[in-house]
Structure 1
Amino acid sequence: MTGYSRPLLLGYARRDLYLSDRHVDDMKRELGEFGQLEGFLMGSVYVEDPETAPQAFEALVAWVNRYEITAVVLPSLRHLALVGDPAEVRARFDRVTGARIVLHEVTP
């Protein structure tokens, strides 16, 4: 038996881009399936509520840094818009964490 374990993948998404909790659950499931296909073990998907933004994003960054996560999956870059300009947030995230953002479009 080998000591190989799959790297952990975290997710991030905006709650307000989904119609219902069922749609959010479907999105989480799709991101998890994507992660598994790409060789990751899916961890938490941080869901940002517009009323408390950027709490979920800040928690995500803390986890990525603390546990040396190498990748985070988002349904699209527009999910970063609650935090700031998506391109700038992505660049800052890359710089601060060293992790890459992977996009996997999920149909709402």
Structure 2
Amino acid sequence: METCTRPLALGYIRAGVLMTADDISAARVSLAAFALAEGLALGTVYLEHPHTAPAAFEALLDEVRSDNDVWAVLVPTADHQPDGGLPAMRSRLEHHGTVHVMVAAHP
């Protein structure tokens, strides 16, 4: 029997000052549901805190650099991107091959 491996996606959540633990949990659930619906395997979900930014994004980049199998980075909404927004995120990721940035839900 042949098995089909789903492309690997990483998650990135930028926790705002007003985000509660429930909001963060809901964002994780939305990423997992989106990944499943898109036929992706969700790997590590990086959580960026305002007081340590951009540490989580840098850790995500480190994983992309070390794992050539990463196909996409998922964010819950367009608000969950690092400083500079989607263009900056794509620019930082494109240096490491073709990694797609996908927004799980539109506002």
Q: Scaled by the length of structure 2, what TM-score is found?
A: 0.84
Q: 1:1-108 alignment to 2 at 5 Å?
A: 1-16=1-16, 19-68=19-68, 69-80=70-81, 83-98=82-97, 99-105=99-105
Q: How many residues align?
A: 105
Q: Evaluate the alpha carbon distance shift between residue 89 and residue 34 of structure 1 in structure 2; reply closer, same or farther with a 3 A threshold.
A: same
User: Which region of structure 1 is more displaced relative to structure 2, 39-48 or 17-26?
Assistant: 17-26
User: Which region of structure 1 is more displaced relative to structure 2, 30-39 or 12-21?
Assistant: 12-21
Separation in 2 of the partners of 1:38 and 1:88? 22
- 1:3-47 residue CA offsets vs partner (Å, 9 max, x unmatched): 321111111011116531111111101110110110111112111
Cα deviation, residue 84, structure 1: 2.6
Quick check: 2:30–2:76 contact (8 Å CA) kept in 1?
no
Cα deviation, residue 106, structure 1: 6.9
Percent identity between matched residues is 30
Give unpaired runs (5+ residues) of structure 2: none
User: Which region of structure 1 is more displaced relative to structure 2, 51-60 or 69-78?
Assistant: 69-78
DSSP 3-state at the match of 1:97: coil
Q: What amino acid is aligned across from residue 42 of structure 1 in structure 2?
A: L
Cα deviation, residue 91, structure 1: 3.4
Give unpaired runs (5+ residues) of structure 1: none
Quick check: 1:14–1:48 contact (8 Å CA) kept in 2?
yes
Q: Evaluate the alpha carbon distance shift between residue 9 and residue 60 of structure 1 in structure 2; reply closer, same or farther with a 3 A threshold.
A: same
